[in-house]
Amino acid sequence: MDLSKYKLEDLFFTAIKAEIDSKEAYSIMAGITKNAFLRDRFMFLAGEEEKHRAFLEEEFRRQVPGKSLGLPEVSPVPMPEIKVSGENMPISELIRQAMAAEKAAQDFYINFSKYIIKANKDFALTLMYFAKMEEGHYELLKRELESAEQFEAYDDFNPGMHLGP
C-alpha cells in the first residue's frame, strides 16, 4: 500500500474513520450474535478500536495543529468495510469481513509508520504497535471463525449450547 501520494491529515482521517467504523461494526456484531463468549470478544474488539481512535485523535491535534478533525464520509485511503446486512447474516461471513478489515488496518499502519518515521519516530513506533495489535485481532477472529463454522448450525437451534451445565 503506497501512501506517498496522501497528505498527513488524510492518513489520520483514514485511520480514525477506520477505527470508528470498526468499533461500530463490532458493537453491532456483539448485539446480533447469540453466543455469549463471541459477544464478549466483539465487545473487547470494539473497546480496542475506541482506544485507538482516541489516541489517533489526540495525536492528530498535536501533529496537524489548527486543522479541524472533520472526517470525510468516505475514507481518503480505500479500506475494506464490515457490512452488517441484518441479523440473519451468517456470523462466519461477518467474521471474514472483519478479518479482511483487520489485515488491511495492519498493512495501513505499517505503511503509515514508514510514511511518518523521519518526521516522528515515536509515533511511527506506536503505529507499528498498532499494526501488531491489528494482527492480534485478526488471529483472534481467525480462531472465532473456525468455531463459528463448526458450531454455527448448532447456535441456530440451541444458542446456549456452549454455556455450561
pLDDT of residue 145: 93
Q: What is the pTM for the complete model shown?
A: 0.86
pLDDT of residue 152: 60
CB 133 within 8 A of CB 27: no
489526540: which residue's cell?
58
pLDDT band at 1 (very low <50, low <70, confident <90, very high): confident
Q: What is the pLDDT of residues 16-39, one digit of tens each?
A: 999 999 999 999 999 988 889 999
Q: What is the pLDDT of residues 90-138, one digit of tens each?
A: 888 999 999 999 999 999 999 999 999 999 999 999 999 999 999 999 9
Burial of 165 (0-12, 13-18, 19+ CB in 10 A): exposed
Cell of 135: 494482527
pLDDT of residue 19: 95
pLDDT of residue 158: 53
Please check the confidence at residue 154 and state whether its pLDDT lies above 70: no
CB burial of 11-30 (b: ≥16 within 10 Å; e: otherwise) equals bbbbbbbbbbbbbebbbbbb
CA distance 98 to 85: 14
pLDDT of residue 159: 54
Q: What is the pLDDT of residues 54-100, one digit of tens each?
A: 999 999 999 999 998 888 888 889 888 888 877 778 888 999 999 99
pLDDT of residue 156: 53
CA distance 35 to 106: 27
CB 4 within 8 A of CB 115: yes
User: 44: which DSSP letter?
Assistant: H
CA distance 12 to 25: 20
